[in-house]
Chains A and B, each alone.
Chain A
Amino acid sequence: MDTIGNALYLGGYGIYVWPAFATAAAVLCWMAVSTVARLRGAERSLDRLRRARAKAAAPGGEAAPAEALNGQGTDP
């Protein structure tokens, strides 16, 4: 326990060092999460549009590709 206490205390600098590492971890995690969310959103929109176009191109197909997104398009 004493070792853990010393590690957290870091000679009195723990209150500066640990928030610094926590900030870095949080920002790096945000980068990954926002990247994956953006990629999934874009690929999902693209799949939906392509399916709608294929359906519209098929005989008797009526779905309009623009409606397939329901306003969930991604920024180009």
Chain B
Amino acid sequence: MEENNKLELLHTEEGAYYTRLTKKFLNRKHWAPKNPFQIKAFIPGTIQEIYVQVGDVVLAGDNVLILEAMKMRNLVTAEVDGTIKAIYVKTGENVAKNILLIDIEEVKH
């Protein structure tokens, strides 16, 4: 039993139809392209070690931190060259999935 009983227009390739929209459809995640300058937690876990400080220059592939999750120490590396702009977490902190951990600033040449 969907809570929403209002008739609304649903657009499809074949035109628009009046119908009831499901909660799942209304709450669907909207897509955004991945930003490699933002390091986010790919899995919920604990920050075990942080290898960088604000202002450090990192190259793609450099070790950034250890995110321990599911009994595994996961090494997180930088995907791009840049300067560490901000670190939002401390060692020992538990983080949820997709939480922003570190911002990297693009190096202007």
A and B associate: no
Report A's interface with B, CB cutoff 8 A: none
Binding site for A on B (CB under 8 A): none
